[in-house]
Amino acid sequence: MAETKQVGEIVKVAGPLVVAKNMLGSKMYDVVYVSDHRLIGEIIELKEDRASIQVYEDTTGIGPGEPVYPTGEPLSVELGPGLISSIFDGIQRPLDEIAARAGHFITRGIHVPALPRDKKWHFKPILKVGDHVEPGDIIGEVKETDLVNHRIMIPPNAKPGKIVSIEEGDFTVEDVVAVVETESGDRYDVKLYHKWPVRVPRPVKQRLFPDIPMVTGQRIIDTFFPVAKGGTACVPGPFGSGKTVIQHQLAKWSDADIVIYIGCGERGNEMTDVLIEFPELKDPRSGLPLMQRTVLIANTSNMPVAAREASVYTGITIAEYFRDMGYTVALMADSTSRWAEAMREISGRLEEMPGEEGYPAYLATRVASFYERAGRVKTLGQEDREGALTAIGAVSPPGGDLADPVVQATLRVVKVFWSLDAQLAYQRHFPAIHWLRSYSLYLDSVKPYLDREIGEDFYKMSKEAMTILEKEAELQEIVRLVGLDYLSQPDQLLMEIARSIREDFLHQNAFDPVDTYSSLKKQYEMLKTIFHLYDRAKNALEKGKSVAEIRKLAAWEKVARMKFIEEDREGKFVHKFEALRKEIDDEFQKFTA
């Protein structure tokens, strides 16, 4: 970043907050270098010639009278080849590169470019000299990994024009790969990368209605509480309820092309687990390492608090960049509570009027502005290109209190609420999403897709299954008071079917190679089989058989094992479910004869 000649002077230091005078000409959210240690900071308040700066590094030893060097530019990220497989901190410094240079802790004032400057990438143009280009147009591709073709685009803030020079070859990110001449005769260079301010949403041509489900392979999510591509979801839950495990499952199994994982303020040992596990995870679709389509942003709880506040913006800007290429992107933020706590700390040091529980009054606005950057869109550019960015945020309310301001601010914005329950987690029920406290507002939006692609009765069965689970919760109160034997036979049968839905359908084993993922088609067949069993059992009841007798049939055990039916790409596994339903028919026919 180019520095201006004017130099400010520090007058106050309060933890990560530094106040400097002689800062006339500076703008909100400009980046500055603090002291001769050249610590990176960002202006967050201006009063006359004084600027309040949040510093993204440790300010120990910094005092009044030391210089502040303005850059005149906002906090930006570098977008280009080299992002995939990388691990960055909250302000996009490459942690593996820093570790190689400075050891296991980030040295103060260290400046390492986000994208490697010496690595060469093979650029293959798809446009030619004389072609007209507009912002967002793809001019060529770089094969970044085996799973990702990195599409080089005209930056969104560039002007339309025609290509006067473009060539194939091996280039570093700073080399010019094309030159564009505007209508006024001006020329500008196109490189493999460009910069974009993290707090400014990248522009799109049109926002589309989110009506295609993002398939996660987790049955409780896809069947009961789906999230649409381009949608928003919230995963609140107390400590130990499985927020991180669910985000790992979503990162691995959701049908997204690119995964952005933000570890925002998590404990160092948890983030270490992520950094160790993610490189070892295999992409189920290709068998290659999952990191070949993943970007990790790590900002642990012992890192400077201000960088935590920036990390979610860094992550979502990188996600928007891949969305603009036409990819489906899944962004996991774990956890937005830590982000909100960073805002609260900075707000307190600025002596702003506190809101509920000490959080700043603008908490809800910041949370909304983050989630509203998600969406399914038509991207900029002349070709009709569609991309989607799905944002899934974990929230860690103190003691699991869902009345926490961060949870409430999040629920006002997101359309899916997966309520994690510690009791379910302690019972080893995974995913520990409570089916009676969760909801999805995308159910009606994705219904036409499910009717068309899976089966017209899928949506109807999922509603009926939820009704059974709700009825079971009511009957359990009676059972606690008077015992199961006092229920009517139909109610006892309903309790058995509800147990089958919970244990045979909703419960999934994340460590079992078959059960860890279920396609929508398999989920449909499983539900269909449970209801098939229910219908046959009701017929048997009408013919005078008791629930105790029905429960002894082998059909129940066969239904319990159906989750381990292996899938194949040709869909032949459907015949196994048809054969299972035929076995159930035969057994009940003999039973009631």
CA distance 139 to 126: 6
Pairing of strands 386-395, 232-236: parallel
Which structural domains are found in the chain, ordered by start? Answer: 8-73 (2.40.30.20), 116-192 (2.40.50.100), 206-440 (3.40.50.300), 458-592 (1.10.1140.10)
Question: Residue 76 pairs with which residues in a beta bridge?
Answer: 197
396 touches 337 (CB < 8 A): yes
What are phi and psi for residue 40, nearest 5 degrees?
A: -80, 130
Report how far residue 239's alpha carbon sits from residue 548's, in angstroms, rounded to the nearest whole number: 40
Q: How far apart are CA 86 and CA 293, in angstroms?
A: 10
Mapped onto helix, strand or coil, the DSSP state of residue 391 is strand
Map tokens 């449970």 to a residue.
Answer: 530
CA 525 to chain centre: 28
Contact assessment for residue 178 and residue 184, using Cβ atoms and an 8 Å cutoff: no
Judge whether 110 and 98 are in contact, CB under 8 Å.
Answer: yes
CA proximity to 338, closest of 362, 359, 314: 359
State the Cα–Cα distance between residues 386 and 255, nearest whole angstrom: 15
Structure-token pair, residue 499: 């147990």
Burial 160-192 (b: 16+ CB within 10 A, else e): ebebeebeeeebbbeeebbebeeeeeeeeebbb
Residue type, 316: I
pLDDT at 3: 47
Residues 6+ apart with CB under 8 A from 544: none
What's the distance, CA 479 to chain centroid? 41
Looking at residue 4, what is its pLDDT? 46
* Confidence (pLDDT) at 241: 79
Residue 430: phi and psi, rounded to 5, are -120, 140
**What is the model's pLDDT at position 52?**
95
What tokens appear for 382 in the block? Answer: 């002349």
Token representation of residue 236: 């609140």
Q: What pLDDT is stored for residue 267 in this prediction?
A: 66
**Alpha carbon 203 to chain centroid distance?**
20
Cβ proximity of 65 and 367 under 8 Å: no
CB neighbours of residue 458 within 10 Å: 20
- Number of H helices and E strands in the chain, helices first, is 16, 26
Q: State the Cα torsion 134-139-144-148 to the nearest 10°.
A: 70
307 Cβ contact partners less than 8 Å away, ≥ 6 residues apart: 56, 57, 89, 90, 91, 299
- Measured in degrees and rounded to the nearest 5, phi and psi for residue 479 equal -60, -40
The residue with tokens 């950057």 is 373
Below-70 pLDDT ranges, the chain: 1-6, 104-105, 266-275, 279, 301-302
Beta strands in 146-252 (DSSP E): 149-153, 161-166, 169-171, 176-182, 187-191, 194-197, 206-208, 232-236
Which residues does 373 contact at the CB level (< 8 Å), separation at least 6? 201, 316, 320, 389, 391
Q: Output the average pLDDT for the chain.
A: 91
* Bridging pattern class, strands 187-191 and 176-182: antiparallel
pLDDT in tens, 136-175: 999 999 999 999 999 999 999 999 999 999 999 999 999 9
What is the pTM (predicted TM-score) of this model?
A: 0.93
Q: Say if CB 246 and CB 462 are below 8 A apart.
A: no
Residue 192 and residue 174: Cα distance in Å, rounded?
Answer: 7
Round to whole Å and give the CA distance between 91 and 75.
8
